[in-house]
């Protein structure tokens, strides 16, 4: 079975508290984009094997898709295995939920191929054991995510918005970014309700001007290139530009394809991983 596993961007990301176990309480607007890995899952008599077309992705139990398969087999008491192959197009350690979306696709494929009668909610609860972004990746689309990411309310679709996405030539550790955040020192929080209202009336200009991610300043502190990309995008007529998740990927929204194309061409001169895509 083949499945597209879509990347996400954060149109906003707010941290509103901290749990006793150190996990942060969030309020964020998540949005799928038309950039995806292709995940192939096939039934096997026993064992879990992972293959991938990119050498830098781990192929053993460190792969989050492996963890998803292991958990699924254990929880549903399945006497069998799977062979997984990932065509990796989503940049890694990028703030785009690349691993989480693969894990979500594996859970959904295994539900089908092993004919397990599990609801999306049940799969989301299972996904949460693997990572905080996995429940959203199971549902996808446009959504407000709270809790540590697992309390999900679907929002009106915000599809077909053009964006340019740049992944600078380094990755960041989500764990380290959250560790370096001082909640008391968050200077400006996103106005999430206002953003949702703009999204509901498809007002891309106002959404772009008000996007905010409180992790941005943390990641920028050690990686000034993020600021540089944001400025360049704005100078190339992006309506607004923001870092996604814990970074370091940066995206900018555009009114039209021609302007986006121009920005894409310029950024391509300096960065290897540049994409022109749409929200879906």
Ligand X SMILES: Nc1ncnc2c1ncn2[C@@H]1O[C@H](COP(=O)(O)OP(=O)(O)OP(=O)(O)O)[C@@H](O)[C@H]1O
Tokens of 257: 């394809």
Tell me whether residue 28 or residue 139 sits nearer to ligand CDM (CB atom). 28
- 279 burial (CB, 10 Å; 0-12 / 13-18 / 19+) is buried
From ligand CDM, ligand X, none, which one binds at residue 24 (CB under 5 to 8 Å depending on kind)? ligand CDM
Tell me whether residue 16 or residue 116 sits nearer to ligand CDM (CB atom). 16
CA distance 164 to 78: 43
The nearest distance, CB 272 to ligand X, in angstroms, is 16
The nearest distance, CB 144 to ligand CDM, in angstroms, is 12
From ligand X, ligand CDM, none, which one binds at residue 31 (CB under 5 to 8 Å depending on kind)? none
The residue from 135, 190, 240, 245 that contacts ligand CDM (CB under 6 A) is 245
Residues in region 154-213 near ligand CDM by CB under 6 A: 174-175, 178
Residues in region 42-71 near ligand CDM by CB under 6 A: none
Tell me whether residue 211 or residue 239 sits nearer to ligand X (CB atom). 211
Tell me whether residue 114 or residue 178 sits nearer to ligand CDM (CB atom). 178
CA distance 152 to 30: 10
Nearest residue to 252 via CA among 269, 268, 232: 232
Q: Which stretch binds ligand CDM (CB under 6 A): 16-24, 154-162, 221-229, 262-270?
A: 16-24
Tell whether residue 93 is a contact of ligand X (CB under 6 A). Answer: yes
Q: Which stretch binds ligand X (CB under 6 A): 72-80, 85-93, 110-118, 189-197?
A: 85-93
From ligand X, ligand CDM, none, which one binds at residue 94 (CB under 5 to 8 Å depending on kind)? ligand X
- Residue 205 region, left (φ>0) first, then alpha (ψ -120 to 50), else beta? alpha
Find the DSSP H helices in 40-173: 64-75, 98-113, 120-128, 134-139
Whether residue 5 contacts residue 109, with contact meaning beta carbons closer than 8 Å, is answered with no
Q: Per this entry, what is the length of the chain?
A: 280
Tell me whether residue 132 or residue 162 sits nearer to ligand CDM (CB atom). 132
CA distance 136 to 140: 6
CA distance 177 to 172: 8
Tell whether residue 133 is a contact of ligand CDM (CB under 6 A). Answer: yes
From ligand CDM, ligand X, none, which one binds at residue 201 (CB under 5 to 8 Å depending on kind)? none
Considering only CA atoms, give the Rg of the chain: 19
Tokens of 189: 């929080």
Nearest residue to 171 via CA among 269, 224, 249: 249
From ligand X, ligand CDM, none, which one binds at residue 175 (CB under 5 to 8 Å depending on kind)? ligand CDM
Residues that bind ligand X in the complex, under the rule CB under 6 A: 57-58, 62-65, 86, 92-100, 102, 133, 174, 245-246
């Amino acid at each position: 079975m083949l499945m597209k596993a879509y990347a996400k961007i954060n149109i906003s990301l707010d941290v509103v508290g901290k749990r006793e176990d150190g996990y942060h309480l969030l309020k964020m607007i998540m949005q799928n984009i038309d950039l995806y890995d292709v995940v192939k899952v096939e039934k096997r008599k026993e064992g879990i094997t992972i293959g991938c077309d990119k050498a830098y992705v781990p192929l053993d139990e460190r792969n989050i898709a492996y963890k998803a398969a292991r958990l699924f087999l254990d929880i549903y008491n399945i006497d069998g295995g799977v062979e997984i192959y990932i065509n990796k197009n989503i940049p890694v350690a990028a703030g785009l939920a690349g691993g989480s979306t693969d894990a979500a696709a594996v859970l959904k494929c295994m539900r089908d191929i092993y004919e397990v009668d599990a609801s999306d909610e049940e799969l989301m609860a299972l996904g949460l054991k693997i990572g905080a972004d996995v429940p959203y990746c199971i549902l996808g689309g446009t959504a407000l995510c709270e809790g540590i990411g697992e309390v999900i309310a679907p929002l009106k679709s915000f599809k077909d918005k053009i964006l340019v996405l740049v992944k600078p030539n380094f990755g960041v550790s989500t764990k380290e970014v959250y560790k370096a955040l001082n909640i008391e020192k968050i200077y400006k929080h996103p106005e999430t309700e206002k953003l949702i209202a703009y999204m509901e009336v498809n007002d891309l200009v106002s959404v772009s001007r008000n996007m905010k991610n409180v992790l941005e300043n943390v990641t920028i502190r050690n990686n000034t290139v993020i600021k540089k990309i944001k400025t360049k995008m704005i100078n190339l007529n992006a309506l607004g530009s923001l870092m996604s998740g814990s970074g370091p990927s940066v995206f900018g929204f555009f009114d039209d394809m021609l302007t986006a194309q121009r920005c894409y061409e310029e950024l391509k001169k300096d960065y290897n991983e540049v994409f022109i895509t749409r929200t879906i």
